Amino acid sequence: MAQDLSEFRSEVRDWINANLPGSIKGDLSAQMAGAMGEREQDGDALLWRQRLAEAGYGAPTWPREYGGAGLSQPEARALAQELDAAGAVNPIPAMAGMGVTMVGPTVLEYGTDAQKAKHLPGIASGEVRWCLGLSEPNAGSDLASLTTKAEDDGDAWVLNGQKIWTSGADRSQWCGALVRTDSNAKKRDGISFVMLEMDQEGVETRPIRLIAGASPFCETYFNDARAEKDDLLGRRNDGWSVVKRLLQHERQSQTGARGGGGATGPTIQEMAKTYVGEEADGRLADPDLRSRLASLLMAEKAHGLTAARIVAEARGNPKVSAAASILKNSATMVAQTRAELTIEMMGNQGLGWEGDSFNDTELATVRNWLSGKAMSIYGGSFEVQKNIIAKNILGLPETTQKG
């Protein structure tokens, strides 16, 4: 495998050199243009995305017949590393919203051949953005308490209800929604997962502004919205099984366990020396900050090694497990600790909201610090992950409410 992977890396480097436009090499923001829906992608950024899609690199481990490249997990990690080393980034997962990381893997597992052929190629190319209608105003961590209904109308499902925290709903073409299809069954037994188009009269979205400023979150209303009968994913009233797998994929995507290109820029150690200063021997001037920064770097390393070990133990199996909950919580702690330390080392410069006295990095830092507070809530709260770890990994008794 080592020899094969070495050859694969060489092939990838050659491909990147031949296909990454020189005008955007090393400019990650340019390569990601259009990924967050703020403006249309054009020029060399569009060309780069199209070339990635043609090679199947948008969703590299998916089968070729559905727009992927059929790569193994080790090959996919090598691809991401080579892109990073070349000053390149893959914008397709961001452009697809919840498609590449969550919807697509779940469709691959639960979808019919017709559903896979219909939905996966558009996700893998980044041409179709997906959102997810899961949480409701009265069904957050207790998701099974949802009340949004889907009624059988013969040739379609008719949806009525409200969803909240639907990331990217105002920019998405499709939505995967968890709905109640049997009001008489126990709350986890009467739920189904349907896929519907967002561009229809019965769907309304309202963006939610958060403390950090701009936000991807929306309220979403279904008022006699329609989903095709064939777009029920999995069996009717078995949507709880479907969404549990989908949420495992979400947690996996939030941990960095599968690798991915990273942004360039100064390290946190370099930033600390810039703002705090250094001693004659090159050490960070503040001993207490130096100690806490070392602890953070060790935690980051431990998280990365644990993620790599879990992947290795899976022996290339792409399915995720409850171990994703461990990584979700450790990733949250590492990210929030890093944000706190960065704000602290910047001092007053880390608290600016606007004005010429703050540079772009400083302004972004305070916003990232605020938005990062949500990490311990979204994708299943920190406490929910602890319950999953206790029950499914440690084998402790079930203590949560059943239903």
Q: What is the CATH number of the domain that holds 325?
A: 1.20.140.10
CATH of the domain at 32: 1.10.540
Residue 116 lies in a domain: no
CA angle 272, 275, 278 (to 5 degrees): 65
Whether 228 and 271 share a structural domain: no
Question: Looking at the DSSP assignment, which residues form a beta bridge with residue 54?
Answer: none
Q: Which of 210, 242, 274 is the last residue of a domain?
A: 242
Which residue's entry shows tokens 């980051």? 300
Whether 379 and 277 share a structural domain: yes
Residue ranges making up the domain that contains 284: 265-393
Residue 190 has pLDDT above 50, yes or no: yes
Whether 32 and 77 share a structural domain: yes
Residue 389 lies in a domain: yes
Residue type, 226: R
Q: What is the mean pLDDT of residues 315-320?
A: 54
Q: What is the pLDDT of residue 263?
A: 44
CA angle 173, 31, 67 (to 5 degrees): 50
Cα Rg, the chain, nearest whole Å:
22
Whether 311 and 377 share a structural domain: yes
Whether 228 and 346 share a structural domain: no
Q: Which of 72, 95, 118 is the last residue of a domain?
A: 95
What residues act catalytically? 250
Whether 277 and 385 share a structural domain: yes
Whether 216 and 134 share a structural domain: yes
Residue 247 lies in a domain: no
pLDDT-derived band at 257 (thresholds 50, 70, 90) equals very low
Total structural domains in the chain?
A: 3
Residue 301 lies in a domain: yes
Whether 175 and 270 share a structural domain: no
Whether 88 and 167 share a structural domain: no
Whether 135 and 233 share a structural domain: yes
> Which class for 149: exposed (0-12), middle (13-18), buried (19 or more C-beta within 10 A)?
middle
Whether 277 and 387 share a structural domain: yes
Q: What is the pLDDT of residue 1?
A: 45
Residue 398 lies in a domain: no
Residue 102 lies in a domain: no
Q: Which of 195, 211, 242 is the last residue of a domain?
A: 242
Q: What is the pLDDT of residue 39?
A: 58
pTM value? 0.78
Q: What is the pLDDT of residue 403?
A: 41
> Which class for 321: exposed (0-12), middle (13-18), buried (19 or more C-beta within 10 A)?
middle
Residue 111 has pLDDT above 90, yes or no: yes
Whether 206 and 272 share a structural domain: no
Q: Where are the alpha helices (DSSP H) in 37-194?
A: 43-55, 73-85, 92-95, 104-110, 113-124
Q: What is the pLDDT of residue 230?
A: 94
Please state, in angstroms and rounded to a whole number, the distance separating the CA atoms of residues 179 and 198.
15
Q: What is the mean pLDDT of residues 175-199?
A: 94
Residue 35 has pLDDT above 80, yes or no: no
Q: What is the mean pLDDT of residues 42-59?
A: 92
Residue 317 has pLDDT above 80, yes or no: no
Tokens of 361: 């990095």
Residue 121 has pLDDT above 90, yes or no: yes
